Amino acid sequence: MRKSQEIERVIIKLVKFKCRENGCDEISQPFYVENEFEFQLKQPN
């Protein structure tokens, strides 16, 4: 139970990040990761 809450928190953060990158219009394809490390790998440089 605790693990899925943690994943959900990261997903919310990723959706906000994607929104900022696209000018916050509409998010057609949010991407999901399982943890902070994978999130760092998927960020554009």
Estimate to the nearest angstrom the gap between the alpha carbon of 22 and the chain centroid: 13
- Sign of the dihedral defined by the CA atoms of residues 29, 23, 38, 11, in that order: negative
User: Residue 36: which of 19, 21, 17 has the closest Cα?
Assistant: 17
Q: At residue 27, does pLDDT exceed 50?
A: no
What confidence tier does 23 reach under pLDDT thresholds 50, 70, 90?
A: low
Amino acid 28: pLDDT: 47
The mean pLDDT value of the chain amounts to 61
